[in-house]
């Protein structure tokens, strides 16, 4: 159910209807949409309301206005270019040894001179810093004193946990505040969970391609990564996964079922269920990274593996770094039957996350403006991704393939086999454009002719120019 429907705005309801029809193909890419007057007649809604609906659809990146001739259907993300093919591979556990590439990428991320198409970071313009700052300043002297002068409970601030539990309605099967541990972002959550489920030498299943940071954590913990072929539209291949876990002693799966980074898919409901069932039967824990769960482009928030888990085997991880503030470092985990171990690891490694940061986040969530902000953010991201994909289709050489993300903020781009993504990355870096070379998304040496482009910045001419520059670099190497 669409959030807008819940709120009952007429224009938003109309926009939802029209968007569904566009997705169903009732209105096709490039087609002219009904005029204001016509829809006014059909629906009985005022001209203003219909106009508002079109503005909303424009924000969502679904339609585009042309001067004096009304609104036209934008190409749907999924139809802009073909998706990358799933590469054939034989899954083998790999000792991970990432090079220092990742680090230079992170350094570029904090360099204001760079065009940031690398890190999957949501830009300040899209985040509600005014409201957050207001929450920070509204803290009374006494509340501030208390927050500065005491260690927070090692598991996290009670009010924050309550607010998160409220938001997670339907995302977990049982009461969750006792199970919850507040962390320094989603990364610490994943790192602690991965530590909790086993020991050095363990084998961990990941999607292929996967989020590079996962590989680095696996390396730091002296574990092995077992990469399973993953479809850019539907997620990890369950047949191959089944064979791989039968053949190898797998300690855990570390997966991003919702708006995978870099692929952007949402795993279909039935596949999620089959996955949880399969791992449940084999008693293999799944670490579920849901950091993009709120960044859906469809009309409803996706379900979680956690909500299907009856055995305490799903360790759910998430954070506010992509939706509210990267700098506050507030994330959380629901580690299922591993909760005691995760709590202990959290306490022993940092005592607790900072008090004030948790308090401010709890205050913000209490204001109730999070949902409004999220609606705006989702529209913006969808629009940015669509525009970036369109620019890639326009400028990149023929044969380029891209994903059609259902949420999140990254595009995964397959280049001609001859093109070395690492060289493209290095050339782009010289021109102060930051992207990810595909090879850092695997420990196997795969994805050499891939790059990841992140769409966290509001679409602009500067970005279009950046895409054109990338296209030139790539064309020279084709």
Residue selected from 80, 205, 305, 345 as contacting a second copy according to rule CB under 8 A: 345
CA angle 161, 166, 172 (to 5 degrees): 90
From 41-49, 211-219, 279-287, 439-447, give the range in contact with a second copy by CB under 8 A.
211-219
Q: Which of 35, 174, 199, 460 binds a second copy (CB under 8 A)?
A: 199
The reply on whether position 106 binds a second copy by CB under 8 A is yes
Of 62-70, 345-353, 381-389, 440-448, the segment contacting a second copy by CB under 8 A is 345-353
**Other Cβ atoms within 10 Å of 10 Cβ, number:** 16
List 8, 69, 141, 270, residue binding a second copy (CB under 8 A): 141
Shortest CA distance to 314 belongs to which of 189, 437, 404, 150? Answer: 189
- 367-to-9, 284, 363, 401, 464 alpha-carbon distances in Å: 20, 39, 7, 43, 37
Give backbone dihedrals phi and psi of 125, rounded to 5 degrees, phi first: -55, -25
* Cα 451 to Cα 118: distance, rounded to the nearest angstrom: 9
Does position 97 interact with a second copy (CB under 8 A)? The reply is: no
Q: Which of 32, 103, 178, 247 binds a second copy (CB under 8 A)?
A: 103
109 touches a second copy by CB under 8 A: yes
Considering the complex, what minimum distance in angstroms separates the CB of residue 130 from a second copy?
A: 8
Size of the site for a second copy (CB under 8 A): 56
Minimum distance from residue 115 beta carbon to a second copy (Å)? 16
- Rounded-to-integer distance, Cα 475 and Cα 292, Å: 33
Q: Residue holding tokens 């999140």?
A: 408
CA dihedral 332→335→338→343, nearest 10 degrees, is 20
Token pair 């397959």 in the structure block, residue: 414
Please give the Cα distance from 184 to 127 (Å, whole number): 19
Stretch that binds a second copy, among 61-69, 216-224, 227-235, 264-272 (CB under 8 A): 216-224
101 binds a second copy (CB under 8 A): no
Name the segment binding a second copy (CB under 8 A); options: 54-62, 266-274, 340-348, 438-446.
340-348
Distance from C-alpha of 101 to C-alpha of 106, rounded to nearest angstrom: 9
Residue 348 in contact with a second copy, rule: CB under 8 A: yes
The site string for a second copy over 145-184 (x = CB under 8 A, - otherwise) reads xxxxxxxxxx-----------------------------x
Mutual angle of helices 238-247 and 269-281, in 10-degree steps: 10
> Which residues contact a second copy (rule: CB under 8 A)?
103, 106, 109-110, 121, 123-124, 127, 129, 132-133, 136-137, 141, 144-154, 184-185, 187-188, 191, 195, 199-200, 213, 216-217, 220, 222, 325-329, 344-345, 347-357
């Amino acid at each position: 159910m669409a959030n807008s429907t819940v709120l009952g705005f007429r224009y938003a309801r109309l926009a939802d209807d029209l968007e569904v029809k566009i997705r169903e193909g009732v209105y096709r890419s490039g087609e002219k949409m009904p005029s204001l007057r016509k829809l006014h007649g059909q629906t009985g809604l005022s001209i203003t309301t219909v106009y508002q609906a079109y503005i909303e659809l424009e924000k969502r990146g679904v339609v585009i206005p042309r001067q004096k001739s009304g609104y036209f259907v934008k190409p749907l993300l999924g139809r802009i270019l073909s998706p990358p093919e799933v590469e054939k591979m034989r899954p083998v556990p790999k000792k991970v040894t990432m090079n220092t590439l990742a680090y230079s990428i992170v350094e570029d991320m904090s360099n204001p001179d760079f065009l940031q198409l690398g890190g999957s970071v949501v830009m300040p313009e899209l985040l509600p810093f005014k409201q957050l700052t207001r929450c920070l300043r509204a803290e009374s002297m006494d509340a501030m004193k208390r927050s500065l002068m005491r260690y927070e409970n090692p598991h996290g601030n009670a009010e924050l946990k309550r607010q998160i539990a409220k938001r997670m309605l339907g995302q977990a099967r049982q009461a969750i505040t006792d199970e919850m541990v507040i962390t320094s972002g989603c990364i610490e959550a994943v790192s602690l969970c991965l530590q909790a489920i086993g020991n050095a030498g363990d084998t961990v299943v990941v999607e292929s391609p996967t989020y590079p940071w996962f590989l680095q954590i696996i390396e730091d913990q002296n574990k092995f990564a077992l990469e399973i072929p993953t479809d850019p539209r539907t997620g990890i291949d369950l047949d191959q996964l089944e064979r791989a876990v039968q053949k190898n002693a797998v300690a855990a799966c570390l997966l991003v079922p919702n708006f995978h980074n870099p692929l952007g898919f949402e795993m279909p409901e039935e596949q999620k269920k089959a996955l949880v069932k399969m791992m449940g039967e084999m008693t293999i824990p799944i670490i579920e990274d849901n950091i993009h769960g709120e960044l859906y482009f469809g009309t409803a928030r996706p379900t979680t593996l956690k909500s299907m888990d009856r055995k305490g085997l799903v360790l759910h991880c998430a954070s506010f770094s992509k939706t509210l503030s990267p700098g506050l470092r507030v994330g959380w985990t629901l580690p299922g039957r591993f909760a005691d171990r995760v709590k202990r690891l959290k306490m022993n490694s940092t005592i607790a996350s900072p008090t004030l940061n948790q308090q401010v986040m709890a205050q913000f969530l209490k204001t109730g403006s999070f949902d409004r902000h999220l609606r705006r953010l989702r529209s913006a991201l969808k629009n940015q991704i669509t525009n970036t994909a369109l620019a890639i289709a326009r400028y990149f050489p023929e044969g380029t393939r891209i994903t059609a993300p259902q949420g999140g903020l990254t595009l995964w781009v397959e280049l001609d086999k001859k093109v070395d993504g690492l060289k493209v990355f290095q050339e782009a870096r010289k021109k102060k454009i930051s992207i990810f070379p595909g090879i850092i998304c695997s420990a196997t040496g795969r994805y050499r002719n891939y790059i990841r482009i992140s769409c966290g910045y509001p679409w602009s001419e500067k970005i279009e120019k950046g895409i054109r520059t990338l296209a030139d670099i790539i064309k020279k190497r084709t």
